[in-house]
Chain A
Amino acid sequence: MASLYKASLQQASVRQITVVTLVVVTCLAAVALAETRKEYRFTVGPKAIISVDTQYGAIAVKPGSDNQVVVTATIMSDKVEVDQQQSGNRLEIASHVLQGANERAGQVDYELLVPPGATLNLHSSTGPLSVERLQGDLTLEGTDAVVNVRSVENCHVHVRTMSGPITLTDVTNGHVEIASISGDVQMKSVTGSLVQVVSGRGKIFYDGNFGLGGEYRFTTHTGDIEALVPADVSADFRAHSVLGRVQHDFPLQPRHSRFPVEAGRSFLGTSGKASSEVVLRTFSGRIRLKQR
């Protein structure tokens, strides 16, 4: 009797597993069938201007050949279309979401290979947005999108998000302007003539040496600001928090200034030859300058 009971239990569980597996496989197949991948190729010059605008979906850009743009679009459903328009060296790609489409159905993910010197304008509400190894001017904008810029040089980088976090790595000789309402901003090895970062409620974290001769301005309203620098950093530092605390844990040469220095709320001083200017401001966040 017990063995019959065990056998019937085993049969029931095998049936259950089979049914669940069939359902899962059917769903996956349905999703896979609904997705379509399309590839578009455009002939352009090395200084092409490329715009990609999608309400929902990722945009990833890498360098390709000097005279061609290759766009691979993964379209999630038939409720969204990809519009493309080229005028000479200008290329515009946009997702057109049809009525009744939700975020999932309206999603298009883009992967682009572009000339390394191309100028890019990328817009996506959800993202993520990622760009690497390019030398042309970049404008990236997202709402909640995660933004990642890596290994770009000699270019302007403009990034705007509402709450999406922003990470810049290895951006050299750049002109960087970042603005976010509440997104965190992380920078590693970012240098240039101007690096200006504003995040109202997000944190700003900088790991680098502030280059040799540039202006670095980090401002938050309530977010904390932290900078991690080597011992041989060469910069003129000014930090002030109206309501929060500031501290630096390595010595700075004091310098005279018309700005009042209130211990614990501000510090002012130079390190090395003061090649770069670093201004750290927050209304009620904390500021910390740390030595690596």
Chain B
Amino acid sequence: MKCSDVERVVPEYVDGALKGAFQIDFETHLKSCPACAELVSELKLIASEARQLAATEEPPPRVWLRIAAQLRGEGLILESESAPSQPILVPTSPRRRWSAWWLAPVAAALVVASSYVVTHRPVPQVAKRQAPASRMTSPAAAASPTPETAAAPSPVVPAPAPQQLAKKIAEPTRIGGSAVPPVVEPAPSEEDQQFLSVVSTLAPSMRASYENELQAVNADIRETEAYVNRNPGDADARQHLMDAYQQKALLYQIALDRIQ
């Protein structure tokens, strides 16, 4: 079974409607294709979350009104002249049997609600990228690799994409058309510290690479958050903010896949 076949029948699989040889082929493909496995895992999560929403908590009407206002602002809801505007509705009856086609609006509502929360979260400061000079290794140091042990105190892998990273760090960032001077990097978050600690323990020679990339990604997130806070109506900027978070998630995934 190929990826294109998997995509066609994944709704049936998530619903438990795929049986027999099809199911075996499907599951065999998932074992060898991380991309399809991830897709199925995410759809299963959305499906299980949706079941809980329908069965337990009914969000208050103001939540749906707020989502509708958000979507209206983005031009995704077109008002009809004859009918008054209605909030977006999802099935509320707990006795209604859950079925797969409600996944799409519920998933869209979850994404919009999370992006609403993200865009209205206060940003403590506008922090810019600064060259992590103390952590980048010189080519000379990288030329003589040391044995990889858990106790290795300093990483020896040269930082990736040095020209790009240095160029972007050296340039003052433009916000709203005017240059903003760089500020000191804030301390890494608890999750980032945990992540780097795991990398240091399991693959100390790679810590410098991951740390440099993590700092750059965090700087991108802060920059975009600051812009979105000043321009909350810019839908494309909000999408870029979500993309930046996804980049961070990708970095975590790549690191943890490699060092296990």
Chain A positions within 8 Å of B, measured between CB atoms, are 49, 51, 55, 90, 99-104, 106, 119, 121, 123, 125, 136-137, 139, 141, 143-144, 155-156, 158, 160-164, 175, 177, 179, 181-183, 198, 200-202, 219, 221-223, 240, 242-243, 258-259, 281, 283-284
Mark B217-257 against chain A: 1 for CB-CB distance below 8 A, else 0: 10010011001000000101101100110110011011101
Q: Taking each of B75, B168, B175, B237, which has the highest tally of chain A beta carbons within 10 Å of its own beta carbon? A: B168
The answer to whether A123 and B258 touch (CB under 8 A), given A177-B35, A201-B161, is yes
Contact A143 B236 (CB under 8 A): no
Contact A121 B33 (CB under 8 A): yes
B146 on interface, CB distance cutoff 8 Å: yes
Closest 7 pairs between A and B when the two form their complex, measured CB to CB: A163-B160, A156-B3, A49-B32, A283-B240, A182-B161, A200-B247, A258-B75
The distance from the CB of A192 to the nearest CB of chain B, in whole angstroms, is 11
Contact A160 B247 (CB under 8 A): no
Contact B2 A162 (CB under 8 A): no
Contact A221 B209 (CB under 8 A): no
Interface of A is mostly: loop
Contact A243 B174 (CB under 8 A): yes
Contact B32 A144 (CB under 8 A): no
B27 on interface, CB distance cutoff 8 Å: no
How far does the alpha carbon of A243 sit from the alpha carbon of B171 in the complex, in Å?
14
Contact A179 B250 (CB under 8 A): yes
Contact A163 B161 (CB under 8 A): yes
**Which residues of B lie under 8 Å from residue A103 when comparing CB positions?**
145, 148, 205
How far does the alpha carbon of A143 sit from the alpha carbon of B259 in the complex, in Å?
11
Which of B31, B75, B149 has a CB less than 8 Å from the CB of A100?
B149
How far does the alpha carbon of A101 sit from the alpha carbon of B205 in the complex, in Å?
12
How far does the alpha carbon of A222 sit from the alpha carbon of B236 in the complex, in Å?
14
How far does the alpha carbon of A139 sit from the alpha carbon of B29 in the complex, in Å?
13
Which of B148, B173, B255, B258 has a CB less than 8 Å from the CB of A101?
B148
Which of A141, A200, A258 has a CB less than 8 Å from the CB of B220?
A200
**Which residues of A lie under 8 Å from residue B223 when comparing CB positions?**
284
Contact A221 B247 (CB under 8 A): yes
B54 on interface, CB distance cutoff 8 Å: no
Residue of A nearest to B158 (CB): A144
**Which residues of A lie under 8 Å from residue B244 when comparing CB positions?**
200, 221, 283
The distance from the CB of A123 to the nearest CB of chain B, in whole angstroms, is 7
Residue of B nearest to A106 (CB): B148
**Which residues of A lie under 8 Å from residue B236 when comparing CB positions?**
240, 242, 281
Residue of A nearest to B152 (CB): A102
Of residues 191 to 232 in B, which have CB atoms within 8 Å of A's CB atoms? 205-206, 209-210, 213, 216-217, 220, 223-224, 227
Contact B164 A162 (CB under 8 A): no
Q: Taking each of A102, A121, A182, A219, which has the highest tally of chain B beta carbons within 10 Å of its own beta carbon? A: A182
Residue of B nearest to A219 (CB): B243
How far does the alpha carbon of A106 sit from the alpha carbon of B205 in the complex, in Å?
13
A-B contacts besides A123-B257, A223-B164, 6 pairs, CB < 8 Å: A103-B205, A137-B2, A200-B217, A221-B244, A242-B236, A243-B175
Which of B28, B157, B168, B206 has a CB less than 8 Å from the CB of A222?
B168
B86 on interface, CB distance cutoff 8 Å: no
Which of A99, A102, A106, A181 has a CB less than 8 Å from the CB of B247?
A181
Contact B258 A143 (CB under 8 A): yes
How far does the alpha carbon of A85 sit from the alpha carbon of B239 in the complex, in Å?
43
How far does the alpha carbon of A286 sit from the alpha carbon of B257 in the complex, in Å?
32
B4 on interface, CB distance cutoff 8 Å: yes
The answer to whether A198 and B243 touch (CB under 8 A), given A163-B160, A177-B35, is yes
